[in-house]
Amino acid sequence: MRRFKRRRSPRRVGSGFALLVVFVGLGLLGYSLWSEVAPMLQVYTDSEESVAPADRNTTMTLAIPKMDLDGIEVRSTPVSDSSALDTGAQHVEGTGFPWEQGTNTYIAGHRIGYPGTDSYLVFYDLDALENGDEVILTDTDGTKYTYSVFTSFTVNPSDYYVTEPVPGKSVVSLQTCTLPDYSQRYVVQAELVDVSGGEMQAQYQYES
**pLDDT score of 52:** 54
- The answer to whether residue 125 is domain-embedded is yes
- The answer to whether residue 48 is domain-embedded is no
**Statement: residue 24 has pLDDT above 80:** no
- The answer to whether residue 50 is domain-embedded is no
> 162: how many CB neighbours lie within 10 A of its CB?
20
- The answer to whether residue 76 is domain-embedded is yes
* Residues 163-169, mean pLDDT to the nearest whole number: 96
Which CATH number belongs to the domain containing residue 107 in this structure?
2.40.260.10
**pLDDT score of 33:** 42
pLDDT band at 36 (very low <50, low <70, confident <90, very high): low
Residue 105 contacts by C-beta under 8 Å, 6 or more apart in sequence? 91, 95, 96, 97, 98, 137, 171, 172, 173
**pLDDT score of 137:** 98
Which has the higher per-residue pLDDT, 9 or 176?
Answer: 176
pLDDT digits (tens, 9 = 90+) for 113-146: 989 888 899 999 999 999 999 999 999 999 999 9
Q: State the DSSP H helix or E strand holding residue 206, giving kind and residue range, or none if neither.
A: helix 200-207
% pLDDT > 70, the chain: 70
**pLDDT score of 54:** 53
Q: Which structural domain, as residue segments, surrounds residue 161?
A: 10-42+57-207
- The answer to whether residue 2 is domain-embedded is no
* Residues 191-204, mean pLDDT to the nearest whole number: 83
pLDDT band at 192 (very low <50, low <70, confident <90, very high): very high
**pLDDT score of 15:** 47
- Integer-rounded Cα Rg, in Å, for the chain is 17
- The answer to whether residue 173 is domain-embedded is yes
How many domains are contained in the chain? Answer: 1
* Closest of 35, 110, 43 to residue 72, by C-alpha: 110
- The answer to whether residue 51 is domain-embedded is no
Rounded (10°) CA dihedral 74, 152, 125, 67: 70
- The answer to whether residue 52 is domain-embedded is no
**pLDDT score of 142:** 94
**pLDDT score of 205:** 61
Provide the mean pLDDT of the chain: 80
